[in-house]
Amino acid sequence: MSDGKQTLGSTLRRIVFCSTPVALSSLLFLSACRSDSIPQPAASATDAAPATGDAYVEASIADASYLNPLLASDSASGNICSLVYNGLVKYDKDLRLVGDLAESWEVRSGGTEILFHLRPDVRWHDGAPFTADDVRFTYQRLTDPAVKTPYGVDFELIRRVDVPDPHTVRVVYKEPFVPALESWGMGIVPKHIFSAGDFNTHPANRRPIGTGPYKFLEWKTDEKIVLTANPDYFEGRPRLDRYIFRIIPDSSVQFLELRQQSIDSMALTPDQFKAYPEFFRHYNKYRYPAFAYTYLGFNLENPLFRDRRVRRAVALALDRSEIIDGVLLGVGRPATGPFPPTSWAFNPDVADIPFDPVKAKALLATAGWTDTDGDGWLDRGGQKFEFTLMTNQGNKPRELCALILQNHLAKIGIRVQVRILEWSSFLHNYVDKKRFDAVILAWSLSRDPDQYSIWHSSQRKEGQYNFVGYANREVDMLLERGRREFDFEKRRALYHRMHAILAEDLPYIFLYYPDSLPTIHTRFVGPEVAAAGIGWNFREWFVPKSLQKYRYAS
The span from the CA of 214 to the CA of 440, in Å, is: 33
The span from the CA of 312 to the CA of 382, in Å, is: 23
Minimal CA–CA distance to 387: which of 366, 414, 367, 360?
Answer: 414
What DSSP state is assigned to residue 384?
Answer: E
Mean pLDDT of 322-332: 94
Whether residues 538 and 441 share a domain: the answer is no
* pLDDT at res. 147: 95
pLDDT at 540 over 90: yes
Confidence of residue 33 (pLDDT cuts 50, 70, 90): very low
The count of other CB atoms within 10 Å of the CB of residue 489 is 7
Whether residues 541 and 435 share a domain: the answer is no
Whether residues 60 and 110 share a domain: the answer is no
Does residue 554 sit within a domain? no
Return the amino acid letter for 80.
I
Does residue 384 sit within a domain? yes
Whether residues 283 and 297 share a domain: the answer is no
Does residue 8 sit within a domain? no
The span from the CA of 528 to the CA of 510, in Å, is: 30
Give φ, ψ of 474 to 5 degrees. Answer: -70, -40
DSSP 99-154: ESSEEEEEEEGGGTEEEEEE-TT-B-TTSPBP-HHHHHHHHHHHT-TTS--S-GGG
Domain with 40 in it: what CATH number? 3.40.190.10
Domain total of the chain: 3
**With b meaning 16 or more CB within 10 Å and e meaning fewer, what string describes 304-324?**
bbebebbbbbbbbbbbbebbb
Mean pLDDT of 261-289: 93
**Start-end of H helices in 25-99:** 75-84
Does residue 401 sit within a domain? yes
Does residue 358 sit within a domain? yes
Among 195, 230, 258, give the residue marking a domain's end: 195
142 is in which domain, residue-wise?
Answer: 89-195
pLDDT at 276 over 60: yes
Phi-psi region of 110 (alpha: psi -120 to 50; beta: other; left: phi over 0): left
Does residue 329 sit within a domain? yes
pLDDT at 9 over 90: no
**Start-end of H helices in 376-450:** 396-410, 423-425
Whether residues 48 and 113 share a domain: the answer is no
- Report in angstroms the alpha-carbon separations of 202 from 199, 206, 209, 259, 391: 5, 8, 12, 39, 29
Mean pLDDT of 241-254: 95
Does residue 11 sit within a domain? no
Whether residues 329 and 210 share a domain: the answer is no
Among 169, 195, 221, give the residue marking a domain's end: 195
Among 154, 174, 195, give the residue marking a domain's end: 195
Give φ, ψ of 455 to 5 degrees. Answer: -115, -20
pLDDT at 36 over 50: no
Q: Name which of 14-18, 19-23, 150-154, 260-264 the model is least confident about.
A: 19-23
Whether residues 208 and 189 share a domain: the answer is no
Whether residues 340 and 472 share a domain: the answer is yes
Q: Hey, is 214 helix, strand or coil?
A: strand
What confidence tens digit (pLDDT) does each residue in 427-452 have? 889 999 999 999 999 999 988 999 99
The count of other CB atoms within 10 Å of the CB of residue 224 is 21
* pLDDT at res. 554: 61
pLDDT at 277 over 90: no
Whether residues 171 and 240 share a domain: the answer is no
Domain with 327 in it: what CATH number? 3.10.105.10
Q: Name which of 32-46, 98-112, 160-174, 189-203 the model is least confident about.
A: 32-46
Model-level pTM? 0.88
49 versus 256: the higher-pLDDT residue is 256
What confidence tens digit (pLDDT) does each residue in 357-384 have? 999 999 999 999 999 999 999 999 999 9
* pLDDT at res. 11: 43
Domain with 161 in it: what CATH number? 3.90.76.10
The count of other CB atoms within 10 Å of the CB of residue 551 is 16
Minimal CA–CA distance to 414: which of 388, 382, 391?
Answer: 388
* pLDDT at res. 14: 58
* pLDDT at res. 539: 97
* pLDDT at res. 47: 52
Confidence of residue 34 (pLDDT cuts 50, 70, 90): very low
Whether residues 233 and 370 share a domain: the answer is no
Whether residues 331 and 479 share a domain: the answer is yes
Whether residues 154 and 210 share a domain: the answer is no
The span from the CA of 368 to the CA of 193, in Å, is: 58
Q: What is the mean pLDDT of the chain?
A: 91
Does residue 342 sit within a domain? yes
Mean pLDDT of 171-179: 94
Provide the β-strand partners of residue 289.
Answer: 515
Q: Are strands 283-285 and 386-392 parallel, antiparallel or unpaired?
A: unpaired
Q: What percent of the chain has pLDDT over 90?
A: 84
Q: Name which of 91-95, 388-392, 416-420 the model is least confident about.
A: 91-95
What DSSP state is assigned to residue 187?
Answer: P
